[in-house]
Amino acid sequence: MDKVPLWAVVLVIAAASPTLVRAFARELERRVRVRTEAIIARAKKDAGLG
């Protein structure tokens, strides 16, 4: 069996379930925000502002 490209799988899921895509996007956004806040907090602490 040929390997199915990831973008094709994502496209099928997106077409099948917009709700799932929104949930995934929201989770991704949350993870990025948490990581960004942690980096900023560490930078402030290193700079003596924390």
Residue 32: inside a domain: yes
Residue 36: the pLDDT is 97
Task: Identify the residue with better confidence: 12 or 1.
Answer: 12
16 is a domain residue:
yes
3-class DSSP state of 47: coil
| Cα distance between residue 9 and residue 19, in whole Å | 16
What does the pLDDT read at residue 1?
60
- In a domain, residue 1? The reply is no
pTM for the predicted model, two decimal places? 0.52
For the stretch 2-50, pLDDT in tens is 788 988 888 887 788 888 888 889 999 999 999 999 999 999 999 998 6
Sequence-ordered list of residues with C-beta below 8 angstroms from that of 24, at least 6 positions apart, any chain: none
- Domain of 19, in residue numbers: 6-46
Provide the domain count of the chain: 1
pLDDT in the model for residue 46: 93
Q: Could you tell me if residue 36 is inside a domain?
A: yes
